[in-house]
Amino acid sequence: MCGRFTLTTPPEEIARVFDLDAVPEFAPRYNVAPTQDVATLQARAPGGRELRMRRWGLVPHWAKDLRIGARLINARCETVAEKPSFRDAFRRRRCLVPADGFYEWAVAGRGPRQPHHIRRPDRGPFAIAGLHERWRAEDGSRLETCTLVTVPANGRLAPLHDRMPAILPPEHWDSWLDPDAQDAAKLLPLLVPRPDAELEFTPVSRRVNRPQFDDPGCLAPPPPEGTG
């Protein structure tokens, strides 16, 4: 499961890395949580990519209640092509979710679980495979939502959690975003764990446990053991 992530990279760098026509406008995020708006990237006709903000927690177009989205923040790669909540979006509405880190929690003795921040060694941004949907309420209003695809954890992260986000390398971005690509046999092989050497993790403050905190303090080292 991926339930929190970060995107602190400057917008200018996001535009460069993901080859966007315009520099997006958003503030650094140190504790992105479900049901909040997140940046997503999709293919733009006649070419290129565009950034759109969407609520994290996918609401299928057929849902009667948008609250289902709180339970659909992740889609497992093993079932994403068949599960009713995700299969339509998997075929037709795929996106990328830019991030520069994500959090997982490890058991720490008798106390609360210890959060860790996982990132690239160079601290650069990366792209998580996502799906998006447009839900229409009875009053005609529309809501854009998304979910993050997960894969089994690689060997380095397995001690923390058995799942990790499906991080796509740049050479696979266009294939994932291609709206004409609907063959699961070609898309599913893109969803694999990243090699151990591409990610590292460090323990951070339990401040990140509370969504109302979204500041650099979330990435601070935890206090020394026994000091609270």
How much is the average pLDDT of 3-20? Answer: 97
104 catalytic residue (yes or no): yes
User: Is 119 domain-assigned?
Assistant: no
Q: Please give the single-letter amino acid code of residue 66.
A: L
User: Is 27 domain-assigned?
Assistant: yes
List CB contacts of 106: < 8 A, sequence separation 6 or more. 113, 114, 116, 159, 160, 161
Give the chain's domain count.
1
Q: Please give the single-letter amino acid code of residue 208.
A: V
Q: CA angle 14-15-20, nearest 5°?
A: 135
According to DSSP, the residues that pair with 152 across neighbouring strands are 163
pLDDT at 21: 87
| Catalytic one of 2, 77, 95, 218 | 2
User: Is 211 domain-assigned?
Assistant: no
User: Is 33 domain-assigned?
Assistant: yes
Q: What CA–CA distance (Å, rounded) separates 42 from 20?
A: 10
Burial class (CB in 10 A: 0-12, 13-18, 19+), 225: exposed
Model confidence pLDDT, tens digit, residues 52-70 = 999 999 999 999 888 999 9
Provide the residue range defining the domain that includes 46.
5-102+125-197
Closest listed residue to residue 76, CA positions, set 156, 172, 148: 148
User: Is 204 domain-assigned?
Assistant: no
12 catalytic residue (yes or no): no
pLDDT at 137: 82
Model confidence pLDDT, tens digit, residues 77-103 = 999 999 999 999 999 999 999 999 999
In this prediction, residue 46 has a pLDDT band, given cuts at 50, 70 and 90, of confident
Q: What percent of the chain has pLDDT over 90?
A: 86
According to DSSP, the residues that pair with 42 across neighbouring strands are 50
* Dihedrals phi, psi of 146, to nearest 5 degrees: -150, 165
In this prediction, residue 108 has a pLDDT band, given cuts at 50, 70 and 90, of low
Which residue matches tokens 């520069």?
100
**Lowest-confidence region among 108-122, 155-169, 201-215:** 108-122
Which CATH number covers residue 170? 3.90.1680.10
pLDDT at 226: 53
Indicate the helix (H) or strand (E) that contains 15: helix 11-17
User: Is 115 domain-assigned?
Assistant: no
* 170-190: burial string, b at 16+ Cβ within 10 Å, e else: eebbeebbeeebeeeeebeeb
According to DSSP, the residues that pair with 176 across neighbouring strands are none
User: Is 221 domain-assigned?
Assistant: no
| Catalytic one of 95, 104, 146, 218 | 104
User: Is 67 domain-assigned?
Assistant: yes
How much is the average pLDDT of 153-178? Answer: 96
How much is the average pLDDT of 175-179? Answer: 95
